Structure formats: C-alpha cells, structure tokens
Amino acid sequence: MAKKAALTPFLLFIALQNAAAQLPVATLNAGIHVIRAEVADTFESRARGLMQRESLGPNQGMLFIFPEEAGHCMWMKNTLIPLSVAFLDAKGRIINIADMQPHSEQSHCAARPARYALEMSKGWFSAKGVRPGSVIQGLQPVR
C-alpha cells in the first residue's frame, strides 16, 4: 500500500504535464505579430493556466476563454515566470493589460467585463506596441 500512495502524486504530476502538453493551440494576430497561444477553455485548464512552466517561447502564450463575459481576474500562484495579461472583450478588443509577478496571489482584474484573457511573457505587449484598444485577431467564435 505504501508504494501505491507514493506513486499517486507522481502519476497526478505526469497527468497534469500531459494535459498541459495536449492543449489546443490557436494562431492569433496582434497587428503584424503572430501569437501561438495554448487554449484554456475548460475549468481545469483555466485553473492550471501556465503554472509550473519554466519558460515561454518569444511569441507563445495562453488564451483563456471564459464561459461568459464578466469581471474575470487572474493571479500567479505556482506560476514561475513573470507574465503580462491582456483582458479582451467578446470581439477581441483589449480592455486593459496588467503585468504580473511570479508566485503572487495578487488579483489582476479586467477593467470591465471580459470574455478572454491572453497571457504572454512579461512586457510582450508593450514591446510590440500592443495597447488597450488594439484587437487580437483569430479568435474563434465563442461556443
């Protein structure tokens, strides 16, 4: 029995890693900039987000699709890398952008109801000249 109990956390860790690796990927555009974003569109994938990731590629991120347009918030518990999050309305227009620090439980919220959140490496949006009011293209119609 002791071996079985010891393996359970390990198997859970492997399952979470495999689930993260199998998320669908969307190709988005912020003006001329192409983004490859893993899609978190279930409660479980949104809750896991980018936790435990050690890096992101230069134009890689995660797109969170929420079931309804609302005042959604993000935090960085168990997240190892600094990120910036853009909250988007249903048409893909950026509402606001917030920079977030690793391991922080501080909430970063949409300034008004949002349907999506796009997390990228910290500073990505400002480095590319992407600001509130910009439109992220390539979002699939929400189910």
Q: Per mean pLDDT, which range of 15-24, 51-60, 64-73, 98-107 is the poorest?
A: 15-24
24-137: in CATH 2.60.120.1140: yes
Can you give the residue ranges of every domain in the chain?
Answer: 24-137
Global pTM value: 0.83
| Predicted pLDDT at 13 | 47
Task: Tell which residue, 74, 70, 71, 72, has the closest CA to residue 84.
Answer: 74
> Per-residue DSSP letters for 76-129?
-TT--S-EEEEEE-TTSBEEEEEEE-TT----EE-SS-EEEEEEEETTHHHHTT
- Dump pLDDT digits (tens) for 69-78: 999 999 999 9
Question: What's the one-letter identity of residue 41?
Answer: D
- Dump pLDDT digits (tens) for 10-32: 444 444 444 445 899 999 999 99
- Does position 107 have pLDDT exceeding 70, yes or no? yes
